[in-house]
Amino acid sequence: MTQRLNYAQQSPELFKRLLDLSMGLNDSVIEEKIRDLVQIRASQINGCGFCLDMHVKEAKLHGETELRLYHVAIWRESNLFVPRERAALAWAEAVTKLPEGGITDELYERVRGQLSEKEISDLTFSIMVINAWNRASVAFKAVPGSADKLYGLDKAGLN
* pLDDT value for 15: 96
Residues 119-138, mean pLDDT to the nearest whole number: 98
Find out whether 145 and 9 touch, Cβ atoms under 8 Å. Answer: no
Task: Provide the whole-model pTM.
Answer: 0.94
Q: What is the pLDDT of residues 141-159, one digit of tens each?
A: 999 999 889 888 988 888 7
Please state which CATH number belongs to domain 12-156.
1.20.1290.10
Delimit the domains of the chain by residue range: 12-156
Q: What is the pLDDT of residues 14-44, one digit of tens each?
A: 999 999 999 999 999 999 999 999 999 999 9
* Nearest alpha-carbon partner for 111 in 74, 86, 77: 86
* pLDDT value for 107: 98
